[in-house]
Amino acid sequence: MINTMIIDGLAFALPMFIMAIGGIFSEKSGITNLAIEGLQGFGAFFGGLAAVLIMQVSGINSNVPYYVSFLAAILGGMLYAMVHVWLCIKFKANQVISGVVVNILAMALTSFLTKRINESVFSQKSNKFVLETSMRFTVPGLSKIPVLGAVFTNVYPFEVMIVIIAVVTWYVMYRTPYGMHLRACGDNPHAADAAGIDVDRVRTIAVVLSGGLSAVGGMSYAYSISANFSPDIYLGFGYLAIAALIFGNWSILPTLGACLLFGFARSAGQAIIQKLGMPSTYNDVVRILPYVLTLFLLIFFGKNNRAPRALGEIYDKGKR
């Protein structure tokens, strides 16, 4: 039971973690990003479409569609993030409203496009792109370690990918000049501008990166939870990632802890239901556990959060 909790918890927590890192990059630059839900969904749409086209048009039956789908998802997420960039940076729109608009547009647009593409290209009336079940692997030797061996058992390839990306993004955030400029723009953009930093450029890159990282999370959920892309991909995981980064105080490692907490809460609930032999209808109760936990954590620990000082503020160079 414990092994199952760890395996399922990691499969749920790590995609959320990579989406949360995307949110951290955006918000550390000063751009509030409530659009993570839409970015992960739109990215998964691109990735799902790429995988289906490769499988059905070219007849390739290998791991190629799997990895190409992630590349396509990243590209789609980054392109769609430009909507948030244009609204918030170019047109200086309210960042919260922009995020909500991006989410709603993604849900409607991907649903419409999926149906139309299925009808016109694949001659099917469906609102989903059916994907092959993701392969999984077990690390010999390490998987035999009591309890901790579950970390190396039935691992999705995207989990390894996410860990590697997380290490790279941590290095970029805390060990590179761009990371320093990013944090400066989120705390005092006018001082950063006076020091010769192009605030709009730094923020644009940060939001675009958040789109790509969110898409990785969305594609991961498409392969692990549903084995397809459909409007059901919008289950609130993006909002949960936002809660995780807030609870993690906009820092990468504490945010990982928050995501693991949410992931294990979900997997523990599912394991308990299966252990007690309860009806499958109780799975709906399990799905709300991370959100209930989020509410309690934010109530008791939210007052200790220290958001970037210029977060959500519209940057106007003329008001220096």
Q: What mean pLDDT comes out for the span 16-31?
A: 98
- Name the residue with higher pLDDT: 150 or 269: 150
Q: Report which secondary-structure segment, H or E, holds 99.
A: helix 95-120
Task: Give the model's confidence band at 319: pLDDT under 50 very low, under 70 low, under 90 confident, else very high.
Answer: low
pLDDT of amino acid 232: 83
CA atoms within 13 A on the CB side of 9: 25
Q: How confident is the model at residue 268 (pLDDT cuts 50, 70, 90)?
A: confident
pLDDT score recorded for residue 320: 57
Cβ contacts of 271 within 8 Å, gap of 6 or more: 1, 4, 5, 8
pLDDT band at 60 (very low <50, low <70, confident <90, very high): low
Least confident range from 97-101, 246-250, 292-296: namely 292-296
Q: Which residues are CB-contacts of 232 (< 8 A; sequence separation ≥ 6)?
A: 128, 226
Q: What is the pLDDT of residues 131-149, one digit of tens each?
A: 987 889 999 988 899 888 9
- Per-residue pLDDT band for 282 (boundaries 50, 70, 90) equals low
Question: What does the pLDDT look like over 175-219, one tens digit per residue?
Answer: 999 999 999 999 999 999 999 999 999 999 999 999 999 999 999
Q: Where do the domains of the chain lie, and which CATH numbers do they carry?
A: 2-127+165-307 (1.10.3470)
Q: How many residues does the chain have?
A: 320
What is the Cα gyration radius of the chain? 20
Give the CA distances from residue 309 to residues 66, 189, 249, in Å, rounded to whole numbers and listed in that order: 40, 10, 13
pLDDT of residue 158: 96
pLDDT at 235: 86
Q: What is the pLDDT of residue 124?
A: 87
Q: How confident is the model at residue 318 (pLDDT cuts 50, 70, 90)?
A: low
* pLDDT for the residue 299: 75
Q: Is 208:85 a contact under the CB 8 Å cutoff?
A: yes
- Given this model, what pLDDT does residue 194 score? 92
CA 72, CA 69: separation in Å to the nearest integer? 5
In this prediction the pTM is 0.94
- Residue 39: which residues within 8 A CB-CB, separation 6 or more? 22, 77, 80, 81, 84, 102, 106, 210, 211, 214, 215, 218, 238
Q: Which residues contact 153 (CB under 8 A, 6 or more apart)?
A: 3, 7, 138, 139, 143
> Is the confidence at residue 277, as pLDDT, over 70?
yes
pLDDT tens-digit map of 221-255:
999 987 899 988 898 999 999 999 998 999 999 99
Residue 188 is encoded by which pair of tokens?
A: 């005092």
Residues in contact with 121: Cβ distance below 8 Å, sequence separation at least 6, in sequence order = 53
Indicate the pLDDT class of residue 275, thresholds 50, 70 and 90: confident
Q: pLDDT at position 253, please?
A: 96
